């Protein structure tokens, strides 16, 4: 049964914005981000409030870059890593935009784009905004240890980024076009180590990419870029292996946002993780390359680890979920 849907009306990303923390700004994508915060607290008294302010900043920025006002946006689709996705919900309250909350852990950027594109493609709404993000200090203390503990980081660990990104979708205006979405399954290979997210997510990425090629009859060379979300170094290697076992060679067009997010000397072990990774790379580097025509067609595959302290404490393993979105340079109908 097909998991891939087509958007015949080709909803466009008519505005996009990325905001990151100082460490993230020093990485290889630094020059592409719209805004680099001077410090992670962003002038707020809690990191949760800083994360929320980042969301508002990203959303406002994307709307402005689309040449629109907040009142022109029909619906906000957003999610984040915090319990009850409070960054998204409180931002929706403060911005007074009708709201759908989504939770797909770090696959959330794909989820918001898939649902948003469906609504715009069906001409139900004119303009929707899709947003997600993460903050190192809120995620670490919720999912792992108190920051003050100063735990040593293990070789398989990844650095949860402080970053957010937002995209305005519309049928009117100019920008990269969303032409397909492949909805992924929840896949679990029995990983129980909360410091090995790459291994927990790679099987779901392999599943959805394999399904995407089966559903569409396409192959990796049909894409200028196949990019996963935040598998990191180890997870990306596992993905390549898993797909080779299924007869798919990803080849040189494959990369992972998390693996490329920091330089080697930034000391982040396997790389970056968090909703903000794929959200900020999409809404800066990838959209800019598509707008310039340097990429014609991209397979964007944010990857989520459905990690929960409650489930882990009750002995569960950590499943992953990933969704794949096809984004093409504008004007190629």
Q: Which of 108, 307, 85, 106 is nearest to 188 (CA)?
A: 307
Give the nearer residue to a second copy in terms of CB position, either 5 or 36: 5
Give the nearer residue to a second copy in terms of CB position, either 122 or 331: 122
Which residues ranging from 12 to 51 are in contact with a second copy (CB under 8 A)? 46, 48-49
Measure the CA–CA gap between 259 and 243, rounded to whole angstroms. Answer: 18
Measure the CA–CA gap between 276 and 304, rounded to whole angstroms. Answer: 12
Which residues ranging from 262 to 291 are in contact with a second copy (CB under 8 A)? none
Query: Binders of a second copy: how many residues, by CB under 8 A?
Result: 58
Q: Is 114 in the site for a second copy (CB under 8 A)?
A: yes
**Contact with a second copy (CB under 8 A) among 79, 165, 258, 271:** 79
Minimal distance, residue 309 CB to a second copy, in Å: 7
Residue 279's CB: how many other CB atoms inside 10 A? 36
Q: Which of 109, 117, 160, 156 is nearest to 262 (CA)?
A: 160
**Contact with a second copy (CB under 8 A) among 30, 35, 64, 86:** 86
Measure the CA–CA gap between 49 and 43, rounded to whole angstroms. Answer: 9
Counting Cβ atoms within 10 Å, is residue 163 exposed (0-12), middle (13-18) or buried (19+)?
buried
**Angle (CA) 105 123 10, round 5°:** 70
Minimal distance, residue 319 CB to a second copy, in Å: 5
Which residues ranging from 182 to 241 are in contact with a second copy (CB under 8 A)? 183-188
The span of 94-102, 153-161, 262-270, 278-286 binding a second copy (CB under 8 A) equals 94-102
**Contact with a second copy (CB under 8 A) among 235, 271, 276, 319:** 319
Cβ contacts of residue 195 below 8 Å, gap of 6+?
Answer: 144, 153, 154, 156, 157
Minimal distance, residue 4 CB to a second copy, in Å: 9
Measure the CA–CA gap between 276 and 219, rounded to whole angstroms. Answer: 28
Minimal distance, residue 94 CB to a second copy, in Å: 9
**Which residues of this chain interact with a second copy, rule CB under 8 A?**
1-3, 5-6, 46, 48-49, 71-72, 74-75, 79, 82-86, 89-90, 92-93, 96-105, 111, 114-115, 118-119, 121-122, 124-125, 142, 183-188, 306-311, 314, 316, 319, 321
């Amino acid at each position: 049964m097909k998991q891939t849907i087509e958007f015949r009306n080709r909803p466009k990303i008519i505005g996009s914005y990325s905001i990151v923390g100082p460490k993230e700004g020093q990485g290889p994508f630094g020059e592409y981000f719209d805004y680099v915060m001077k410090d992670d607290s962003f002038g707020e008294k809690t990191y949760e409030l800083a994360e929320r302010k980042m969301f508002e900043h990203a959303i406002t920025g994307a709307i402005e870059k689309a040449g629109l006002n907040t009142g022109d946006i029909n619906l906000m689709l957003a999610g984040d890593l915090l319990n009850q996705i409070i960054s998204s919900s409180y931002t929706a309250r403060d911005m007074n935009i009708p709201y759908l909350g989504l939770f797909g852990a770090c696959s959330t950027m794909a989820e918001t784009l898939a649902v948003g594109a469906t609504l715009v493609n069906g001409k139900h709404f004119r303009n929707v905004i899709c947003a997600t993000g993460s903050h190192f200090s809120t995620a670490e203390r919720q999912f792992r240890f108190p920051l003050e503990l100063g735990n040593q980081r293990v070789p398989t660990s990844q650095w949860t980024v402080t970053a957010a990104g937002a995209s305005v979708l519309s049928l009117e205006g100019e920008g990269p076009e969303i032409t397909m979405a492949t909805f992924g399954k929840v896949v679990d290979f029995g990983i129980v180590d909360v410091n090995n997210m790459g291994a927990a997510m790679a099987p779901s990425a392999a599943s959805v990419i394999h399904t995407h090629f089966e559903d569409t009859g396409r192959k990796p060379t049909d894409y200028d870029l196949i990019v996963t979300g935040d598998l990191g170094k180890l997870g990306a290697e596992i993905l390549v292996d898993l797909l080779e076992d299924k007869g798919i060679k990803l080849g040189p067009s494959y990369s992972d946002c998390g693996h490329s997010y920091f330089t080697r000397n930034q000391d982040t072990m396997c790389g970056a993780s968090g909703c903000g990774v794929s959200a900020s790379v999409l809404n800066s580097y990838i959209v800019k390359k598509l707008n310039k025509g340097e990429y014609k067609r991209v397979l964007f595959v944010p990857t989520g680890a459905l990690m929960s302290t409650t489930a882990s404490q009750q002995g569960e393993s950590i499943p992953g979920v990933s969704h794949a979105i096809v984004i093409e340079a504008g004007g190629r109908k």
